[in-house]
Structures are given as C-alpha cells and as structure tokens.
Amino acid sequence: MRILEIASEAVPFAKTGGLADVAGALPEALAGLGHEVAVVLPGYAAALSQGLPIEPTGIEFDVPIGTRTRPARILRCHREGMRADVYLIANGELFDRPSLYGGAHDYPDNAERFIFFSRAAMELACRLGGGWDILHCHDWQAGLVPAYRKVLYADRNELGVARTVMTIHNMAYQGLFWHWDMLLTGIDWRHFTWQEMEFYGKLSLLKTGLVFADAISTVSPTYAREIRTSGGCGLEGLLAARSDVLTGIVNGIDTTIWDPSADPTLPRAFGIADVEHGKEAARAALAARLGRPAPDARPLVAFIGRLVQQKGVELVIELLARSAGNGRAHFVVLGTGSEDYEGELRRLAEVYPGTVDVVIGFDEGLSHLVQAAADITLVPSQFEPCGLTQLYAQRYGSIPVVRSTGGLVDTVIDATPEAIRDGAATGFVFGRFDTNDLEQALERALAAHADGPLWRSLVANAMRRDWSWRASGRDYARLFEQTLARPAVTVG
Ligand code: ADP
Ligand code: GLC
C-alpha cells in the first residue's frame, strides 16, 4: 500500500506528547512491513533548527484559505536508516512560533494554522501523485483531510483510490472553533450541520474527521469502547453510529529509542539480569542531576506527564501532601502544564526536601533517566486513550500503578494472587478516581517492593513484555486493507 501519514507532531521533529511518539514510530513499522510510507508534518521552526537532514524539494504552492492564499514551501527529510520520507510544510507566519499550539493559551489562529496544514497536505498528496491507498489522519489537526477528500478533492486522479482513516489519540481535544472559521476551510456552508461539521454552534475539526473518514481507529480497545458510551466528550452518539468502522489498536513503543540495554542517556545499560545495578547507577546520576546527595535505600516513585487534569495530577498532589511526610518513599515528578499544578508541586518540593523532587519542564533525556531510576511509576489518569508512560516504565523495570481506564486497562496486569502465581502480573491497578484508591494501590506496591523475590518477579514480567510495533503495525496494515476492500463512505 501507499500510505500518507498526516500528523501535527512526530519524534524527532516536534513533540508535546504521545502522538509524537506514535507518528514517529508507526510509519517505520508500516514501511518495515513492505508498504510505501510518507509522513507530512508542519514545518515548525523548532523542527527545522535541530540539525536534521532537511532539504528543500523545490515544491511550492499557494494554499487557498478563505478569500486569500498562503504560501506553502515543502521540505523533505530523509534520515539514514529510515524508510519513510518526511515532508514538512513550511510557512513562517504560521509555524515559526515558540511552541506547537500555544503557551498558557492556545494561539488564536490555530484554526487557520491547521486548516492550512490539512489543505496543504492534500495539495502535496496531489503533487506527489502516483495514487495513494490510505491517507492516515491523526487527531483534530488533520481532521479536515477526510472532508477535503470527499468534498473538494473527490475527482482528483492523482490521489488514486485514497481512503481516509481517522485515528483519535484523545477525544478531549476536538479542535472546536467559532463558526466563521468555516469560511477558511473553503468547504460549502451546507456541510455546517449537526450531521457533519457543526458541534453546538461551533466548527469541530475532530467531528468533521470522524464523519467523513472511511474508517476510525483509536489507540486502545478499551478506549474504543469507552468513547461510544460515556467517554466520548459529547460525540458518543456519532461514534456509536459509526461503530461498524471503529476499532482500537494499542500503541507500540519505539524500541530503538526506549531500550534500557542500549540507551545512551543512561549511565549504565541494563537488562532483566542486572536491573538492580542499572537502577542504582541511574539513581546516582539522577541525584547528581538534581543536585541532591547520594540516594538512600527508599523506593523511588515517579510521575512523568503533562500537568493537566486528565493525568490525575490532583491525586498525585493530594497523595504527596498526605504521605510524603511518612518518608517511606522518595518521589520524583517531571512535568509541565497548568501553572496551578506547577505551583503546588513546587511548594510540596519545598516542604519535603529530600523526599519530593519536582522538575518543571519538558526534558526527553531526563524522562529516560527517571524511568530507569524509578521503582514505581504512577499513572493515575482520569481517562487515558492509551498512555505510553506505563509502557516505558515496564520496559525500564519500573512497576506502574495505574487507574483502570482506557489503554491502562489493556496494558497493565494487576498483581492479584492469581496473576502473580501465573507470572503475568506487571503492575497495580486501582478503580475509582480518588486519592484513597491511589494511596491503597501505592501501599500494595510498596509492600510488594519490600518482598525481594516477589518484586524481582514483577520487574521481570514487566520487562519481558513485548511492546514493539510489530503487532500493532500489522493491526494498522490490516485495518487499512479492510478499509480499501470496502467502498468509500458517502456523506450527506
Ligand atoms: P499524552 O500523549 O497524553 O501526553 P502519553 O503517555 O501517551 O500521554 O505520552 C506522553 C509522552 O510524553 C511520553 O513519551 C512521555 O515520556 C512524554 N513526556 C510527558 N511529559 C514529559 C516531560 N515533562 N518531559 C519529557 N517527556 C515527557
Ligand atoms: C494522547 C493520549 C495518550 C496516548 C497518546 C498517543 O495524547 O492522551 O493516552 O498514548 O495520545 O496515542
């Protein structure tokens, strides 16, 4: 198949969260299965200035945006050893900004930025020509692509049979904009109805993608079920109506980047046999990095993630306020996000020096070191489409303590007596979104940690699990093949 992956972020070009990890690794997994894959990303200033081998293609065109046009300049990156070509759509005015989507507030012209991106991706697909099988669109930023395919680009031979697949990484971000932004799309107002692009008076780019796509996927089977009932952020009805084409495929991880036995950011490589030595070295390096004295023997409990409500940060804050005082564990938090959460976490670090360490910021290298150093990783999310943190934790021998929601259900096996007996247990799972439940699950984990043989078996189970893209890459390829075998969906 000829597949075009359209995403607003991808490792190593630009990253704010797990989408970038997926959009970085999935294309290579698909290419590894023998498919021809290209990726389209916005040409953010940060992506262009990291020394990656990015070159002009000579392809330039004007993109219609409302009553005017904006220029797109196409760059290409081909990295040694990588099979997928990455195209970057450069436009200084729209993408030469300090961050991807905005700071404390979203950029006010995000509608225009990603309408431009989606339309430019369509134009590029036409100019590259040769016929496409699948246009794979990720999240609301690419949500217009399925509509463009059916409305403005239905008769373009250069696109071939091109079916569209919309992958939802998070229903909570829908790309909702005021209705006048409809004018920027170039799509006729007759599509601005509740059955198509309108959502409570606004233009919804995610809904648009879900309506027009030939197939829909999300990043875990459990989340695929949840969003049809109560977790669909208002789009449950639409998702239930489209459940015949909605599937869940759990994310893989890039095992060339996340491999404790060959990770250049760690002071000492490690595997199952020498995990304790590896963790000891990582803890010493982490302490030095944080400017702390050498670590003590207490278990190290980590939280790494965006500091937003979804991630259960309020539970972590309450947990620290309650239990950091008893000094049984050492906590490290690495994150960035809401100023309120950042402030409360900093305050806790001041109240409990030596027991609570907080690093506010986005630091890829440090996230590897923290996973390697940690014994336990907390993922107490309110909802979690898939979650990658718990996958990295398991691979690095850090036992996840997670809430039973979304992809966390599909990727962590609770240490029940049966699961321990069967050698399957890899973590601790709790039910209600409540600090008491989190605290009890952490207590169970700490009690297990005190039992050497039990802990070693949990760590070995966790490290042994295969999270490579092999299986999920094949699932995506199967989904694409099934989508190609069906007639294209008609809308309206
Ligand atoms: P989400 O995409 O909702 O943020 P995921 O668990 O899927 O959640 O992915 C988060 C990704 O971002 C992981 O790769 C995680 O290591 C990384 N990450 C989150 N916060 C930070 C941070 N402050 N510094 C470095 N990496 C981070
Ligand atoms: C989203 C979700 C996260 C998922 C990631 C990659 O950001 O919040 O659960 O792992 O996308 O699919």
Ligand 2: which atom is nearest the Cα of residue 381?
9
For residue 30, the Cα-to-chain-centroid distance in whole angstroms is 18
Q: Pseudo-torsion of CA 254, 258, 264, 269, nearest 10°?
A: -140
Which domains are delineated in the chain?
A: 2-252+471-485 (3.40.50.2000), 275-465 (3.40.50.2000)
Tokens of 459: 């760590």
**DSSP assignment, residue 382?**
S
Ligand 2: residues within 6 Å at CB?
17-19, 22, 169-170, 219, 251, 384-388, 407
Give yes or no for a cis peptide into 12 (omega within 30° of 0): yes
Write out the chain's pLDDT in tens, 492 residues: 999 999 999 999 999 999 999 999 999 999 999 999 999 999 999 999 999 999 999 999 999 999 999 999 999 999 999 999 999 999 999 999 999 999 888 999 999 999 999 999 999 999 998 999 999 999 999 999 999 999 999 999 999 999 999 999 999 999 999 999 999 999 999 999 999 999 999 999 999 999 999 999 999 999 999 999 999 999 999 999 999 999 999 999 999 999 999 999 999 999 999 999 999 999 999 999 999 998 889 999 999 999 999 999 999 999 999 989 888 999 999 999 999 999 999 999 999 999 999 999 999 999 999 999 999 999 999 999 999 999 999 999 999 999 999 999 999 999 999 999 999 999 999 999 999 999 999 999 999 999 999 999 999 999 999 999 999 999 999 999 999 999 999 987
Q: What's the half-sphere exposure (Cβ side, CA atoms, 13 Å) at 377?
A: 33
CA distance 453 to 431: 27
**DSSP assignment, residue 452?**
H
CA distance 124 to 39: 11
Strand pairing partners for 55? Answer: 76
Q: Which of 280, 370, 383 is nearest to 331 (CA)?
A: 370
Distance 313 CA to ligand 2 centre (A): 16
208-229: burial string, b at 16+ Cβ within 10 Å, e else: bbbbbbbbbbbbbbbbbbbbbe
Ligand 1: which atom is nearest the Cα of residue 379?
6
Distance 335 CA to ligand 1 centre (A): 8
For ligand 2, atom 10, name the residue with the nearest CA.
387
Q: What's the half-sphere exposure (Cβ side, CA atoms, 13 Å) at 131?
A: 5
**Using an 8 Å Cβ cutoff, are 85 and 41 in contact?**
no
Tokens of 24: 């970085």
